[in-house]
Structure formats: C-alpha cells, structure tokens
Amino acid sequence: MKYEQLAKDIIANVGGEENVNSVVHCITRLRFKLKDEKKANTDVLKNMDGVVTVMKSGGQYQVVIGNHVPDVYKAVVTVGGFQSENQVEAEPGEKGSLFNRFIDMISGIFTPILGVLAASGMIKGFNALFVAIGWLDDTGGTYQILNAIGDALFYFLPILLGYTAMKKFGGTPFLGMVIAMALVYPALEGIPGAGEPLYTLFAGTMFESPVYIEFFGIPVILMTYSMSVIPIIVSAFFAAKLERFFAKVIPDVVKMFLVPMFTLLIIIPITFIVIGPIATWASSLLGQATVWVYELSPVIAGAFIGGFWLVFVMFGLHWGLVPIAINNFTVHGSDPILALIFVHSFALAAAILAVWLKTKNNTTKTLSAPAFISAIFGVTEPGMYGIALPLKKPFIFTLISSAIGGALLGLFGSIGYVMGGLGVFQWPSFIHPDEGLNGAFYGTILAVVVGSVLAFVLTYFFGGINKNQDNAATTTTKENTVVKNVKEETIASPLHGEVKNLADIEDAAFASGALGKGVAIEPTEGKLYAPVSGTVSALFPTNHAIGITTEGGAEILIHIGMDTVQLEGKYFTAHTSQGSRIEKGQLLIDFDLDAIKEAGFALTTPIVITNQDNYEIKQLSSSLVKSQEALFEVKSN
C-alpha cells in the first residue's frame, strides 16, 4: 500500500486509534474528530513529509494532504481499522432537485454491486451459450452448479440491496440485510402452495390477492420477493428513518440491541402488510409500462435509447434506466432496455479504431489503443472522454451509428434474458432460454456489424481527424480546441465579487500557498461559472469544491467558502459532474450565499493552480471583478 507508512505516522501523531472518534476527508484534507486534541503532536505532523500543514476548525482536527488525499484516506482507514465515511452526504431531501436526488440515490444503491451483478449475469449467459451449442446438458450437474453460481445473486438480490440501500439512507446496513432475509424467508414463500387461502382481497381487480396468513388479525398479502428490487429499497428508506428515531429516544445503555429490535419489529410487519404488496404492484406496472412503450415501436425505441445512451451516461441519466431494466428481468424474465444499447460500445470502438489508424498525432495514437480495447469490453469512458468528445465528430458519428444499430435491434426483436456483462460479454445474454440461437440473436450480430462499419467509415473519411493537428496538440478542430503544452492561459473569474490576496485569507493551508498559487474572491452572488474551457477533474460529493483541468493542462481548484464541507452539501447544487467537458462561462454550481453566511461560514473562495510548480502566475485583477473578467494569467515554465 503506497501510503501505508504515512498513514501509520499520521495516526500515531493524532494520538493513536483510540483517540479518533471519526475521520472523513474533503478535497484536500483529512478531517479528524479527536477525543482529546491535546494528545495530537501538531508540530510533528506539520513537519512530516506528505503533510502540507495542520489546522483546527469547526471541532475538527484537519491534516492537509493535497489532491491525493483520497488515497491517503484509504490507507488511514485501512491501517487504523476505522469505518469508511468518505461519502459525505446530506439527509435525503436536502440536496439538489428531486430528479438529481433520485439519480444520486439510485447510483449509490446499485454502483457497489454492479461488478458482481455483471459477473453473475455473464456466468448465466455463458451457461446458456454452452447448452445452446451442445457443450452442456441442462440436466447435468455441471450446468446446475454453474447455474447456481450465476443465479444466486439474482435470487438473493434483495439482501444485497438491503445492505446498500440502508447504507445510502444513513441506516445500519445489516438491518437492511435482515429485512431482506425476512422477505425471502423460505417458509413464508412456501405458504401459498401449502393450502387453501383464508379469503381473497380485491377480488375481480388487477390487484386480486389471496390471503393465507394474518398478523394479529391483519391480512398479509404474501408476494414473491426473491429477485425483487423496489420493495426492499422502499422498506430500507423507512427503516433508516425509524432507526434514527429510536436512536434518539432510547437510552444509550440499552441502545445497542433495543434500537435494532424495535426497528425490525415494526418495519418487517409493515413491509409484509403494506410496503411489499404496494411496491410489488408498482414494480409490475413499471415493467408493463416499459414493455408497452417498447411494443409501440421497437425500432423507434431502439434508435432513441441506443443513440442517446452515451449522452445519458455523460449526465448520469442512465441511472434512471438501469433499475427499470433490472426490475424487468425480475418481473418478466427479460428486458429490452439494456439490449437496445448493445451496439454503442462497438460503434465507439470502431470510431476510435478509425482515429487510431488515421491520426498523425502521436499523443492521440497512444491514447487510442487502450481506449479501443476498453470500448470492446464495454468500458466507454476512456474513449468517450479522451478521444471521441474532444474530436467532436467521432462522437457524433458514434451516436448516429448507435442509433441505427439500436433500431436494427428493435427491428429483430433482440432482447436480453439475463443481466449480463458489458461489450462482448453481453452477447450470451441474448440467447433465448428455449429457442437458443434464434433469429433475434443473429440480429444482434448484424446490428453490431452495421453500427461498427458505419462508425468506422464516417469517422475515417469525414471525422476531420488531422485537421489543424500537430504533435503538440491532443486534438484540434475549428469548433473545438484541446491543446496540450500551451505556453500561456488566461483564467477568468468564476464569481462576481471582491478579489483578495491569497495570503490574507483565514485558511492557513490556502494562505500559505501550500495548496497552490492563485487568488481568493469574496463572492457577491451565489453562482460559480467555469473560468476556462476544460474538464471537471474532481467534484466533491458535497458540491462545495471543484477541480478543473484546463485545455493547456493547468489544474485549478476552487473551494467555495471556509470549512463549508461541514454543511454536507446543504445550500449547494451542482450543474455538472466529474469527468464532464465544460465550456468557459458555463454555470457549474449554485450556492445559497445568505443561508451559508447565516449558518456561520465564511464565503471567501480560493481559486488556485495546484500543479503550481509548472507555472508562473500573474494576477490581473485586484479589486471588484465580474464573472468571466480576466483574473490571473498562467505561463508554463
């Protein structure tokens, strides 16, 4: 572990593991809550290699590290055996618009299990492929064991989601797992087949449900919760709130066992009686709605979803579709949504291949090789952000080719039958469980061939790959320029406000210049705009700090206010995301200036160049400044 020794030294000099209540990190520093700050060796820490300085603020003991603080934090958590709390999140409902909070919730719940989810789907897909081509018999032991390996996660999916959902909602993850275990408890799932129902509820409607058991006289509608998605997420949401309530009212001496006991005693019956049935009906309706939209016109659906999938990924909107697809697998045993995007990674790979073969730029050629390989295996970010988007036309041609490929997938009725892998590993998921390699499966081959050939030809002949390029540039077009090794750049002001010398601000880490050279602004408006065109290299989860890499390679850090990480995202709304391409003058972050001041936080905002050793910095403004007016100039050494 690269920072293991540094982590050991830091822990020893903050008073040891026993002196640490908690540790989190922000964009530049470790933030300890210590039991006794007098036990910390501040002078030793300040002079330690790898530590910029030490600060005490807001009840936190802050060890300033720099941009690589996430790596040091991981080492500190591992060495000290601390609980990882690096995702600083607001309470549900406090941060951003309703849609943004929904996307954030879904990504937080599903991201931790996507790798093993894809792996399980790949095993199921390959198992189906081996049966289809006659390598395995579906009654044999080898098939059964492989099927168990691939199917186990899907059957017990609620248990994994119980863990991740409770963690996302701020509850105890193991409580979420126990709730899910109760939902898939075999004895309860087997009751409907054991005898006649006591009576039937909602007879004659789409919600008609036989009742086999009661809970203190209240009818319980038993559903099949194995492989379900929505019931456990909804249950975890309310369980987390219930747990927080009991944690406040139950005395500390018995809190350890009474809080989980009362939480489980209340939430599990409520889930069986109310949450589970309603959420299951909602799941069925959601599945029916997506199938209905698909059946209206599979070709149009394929062209739209396939063509815009990379755009959805750029803005994080794909997280709104992923759980719908997973729900379709659990409700219908198949899904058209993820099937319709199948061509996009191959189209991108073909466009990158065209760039790789035609470019005369050494840097672009070097970047293209690994990006091409990644895209073939379904990992599109390196090729999209590193090659296609900067060159612009290859990205547009990829979208067009993906749309045509998606339309062909819709035309052939190609749908997925398991939640499979990405790229080439997704292919086995198209094998029909009864028909094997049918016409729809071969349709996927044709769609990939057409989409890939089209993307390659359009990019190779019309991509403008070498237009205005030279070996000092990564990519350049008339409409868009991404240049490396630029000698001089002007950084505009990202804010309206009063310019201050960095040395005059309260934060010692910024004032000393240890985190970078630059200036500070006392903002008069709660809007942060892009000071340059470039890429968002870092966006902290609380949206109070952002890192930007300019087209010339300068790395800018903008930190809104002092110690505002303690607001945990309250009063901040981001309009971009990490990895996104941004243009000068684009609105990046909204913040409630008055509310932050009323909460007791200074709004002085440092704007610094963190890779300062590579640049000379000349300040251009020293008084009131408006957004987009020249603030300082950087010149490479």
Tokens of 457: 């030809």
Measured between alpha carbons, how far is 162 from 558 in angstroms, rounded to an integer?
37
Indicate if 575 belongs to the active site: no
Please enumerate in sequence order all residues whose Cβ is within 8 A of that of 308, keeping only pairs 6 or more positions apart, or say none: 399, 403
Least confident piece of the model among 106-115, 231-240, 487-496: 106-115
Catalytic position from the list 25, 344, 544, 559: 559
Residue 381 pLDDT: 63
DSSP string, 216-284: TTEEE-----TT--HHHHHHHHHHHHHHHHHHHHS-HHHHHHHHHHHHHHHHHHHIIIIIHHHHHHHHH
pLDDT by residue (tens digit) across 470-485? 333 333 333 333 334 4
pLDDT reading at 178 higher than 70: yes
Residue 633 pLDDT: 87
Pairing assessment for the beta strands 29-34 and 60-64 based on DSSP bridges: antiparallel
Highest mean pLDDT, choosing among 70-79, 172-181, 385-394: 172-181
3-state secondary structure 150-216: HHHHHHCHHHHHHHHHHHHCCCCHHHHHHHHHHHCCHHHHCHHHCCCCCEEECCCCCCCEEECEEEC
Exposure string of 313-352, with b = 16+ CB inside 10 Å and e = fewer, is: bbebebbebbbbbbbbbbbbebbbbbbbbbbbbbbbbbbb
- Which pTM does this prediction carry? 0.52
Residue boundaries of the structural domains of the chain = 4-80, 156-293, 297-476, 485-636
Residue 385 pLDDT: 64
- Cβ atoms of residues 233 and 161 within 8 Å: yes
For CA atoms 405, 410, 411, 415, the dihedral sign is: positive
What's the chain's average pLDDT? 83
pLDDT reading at 170 higher than 90: no
Indicate if 318 belongs to the active site: no
CATH topology of domain 4-80: Gyrase A; domain 2 (3.30.1360)
Question: Of all helices (H) and strands (E), which one includes residue 354?
Answer: helix 344-358
- Cβ atoms of residues 620 and 491 within 8 Å: no
Q: What is the SS3 assignment for 38?
A: helix
575 vs 194, higher pLDDT: 575
CATH topology of domain 485-636: Glucose Permease (Domain IIA) (2.70.70)
Catalytic position from the list 26, 318, 344, 496: 26
In the chain, the percentage of residues whose pLDDT exceeds 70 is 88
